């Protein structure tokens, strides 16, 4: 079942890259007591994700925070090393927390898995954005297949 507005996000462990190397980040630590803008991409280094999606959140980070967002996070069904390399390629420092959902556990748990096998990509995440307060979904914007409209930073800003 797909997550919806009003639902609590499920417990999950993401991998992040820290100064000490790869480290787990529990969803409770990420979402607990905070307002989080989370967006998901089908894959790091893919065209729309690299040209528009991640750059938009980097560009609008200060505006999102001015509207009450404590943390901006990007999740993808990629491994932590790919997410680290993508962050470096995109010039991401601390504006966006890069979350690796390498096995797709979180993505499956919220019902937003995408079958990319016909493109040789296996299971991935649908493109979406959401706002969660203390782990409860307050806004959810899931893209129709192949589109990039409602999950953008611009759209999220307009609806905060």
Of the candidates 38, 41, 49, 99, the residue annotated as catalytic is 49
Q: Specify the pairing of strand 113-115 against strand 13-18.
A: unpaired
What CA–CA distance (Å, rounded) separates 152 from 139?
13
* Residue 49 designated active-site: yes
* Residues 126 and 42: beta-carbon distance below 8 Å: yes
Distances (CA, A) of 138 to 61, 86, 123, 135: 19, 28, 26, 9
Give the catalytic positions in this structure.
Answer: 49
């Amino acid at each position: 079942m797909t997550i919806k507005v009003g639902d609590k996000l499920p417990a999950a462990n993401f991998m992040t890259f820290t100064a000490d190397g790869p480290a787990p980040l529990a969803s409770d630590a990420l979402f607990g007591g905070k307002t989080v803008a989370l967006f998901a991409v089908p894959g790091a280094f893919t065209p729309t994700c690299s040209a528009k999606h991640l750059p938009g959140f980097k560009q609008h980070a200060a505006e999102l925070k001015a509207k009450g967002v404590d943390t901006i996070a990007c999740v993808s069904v990629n491994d932590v090393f790919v997410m680290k390399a993508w962050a470096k390629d995109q010039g991401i420092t601390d504006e966006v927390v890069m979350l690796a959902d390498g096995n797709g556990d979180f993505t499956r748990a919220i019902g937003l898995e995408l079958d990319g096998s016909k493109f040789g990509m296996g299971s991935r995440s649908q493109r979406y954005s959401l706002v969660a307060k203390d782990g409860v979904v307050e806004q959810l914007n899931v893209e129709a297949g192949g589109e990039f409209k409602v999950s953008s930073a611009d759209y999220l800003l307009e609806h905060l």
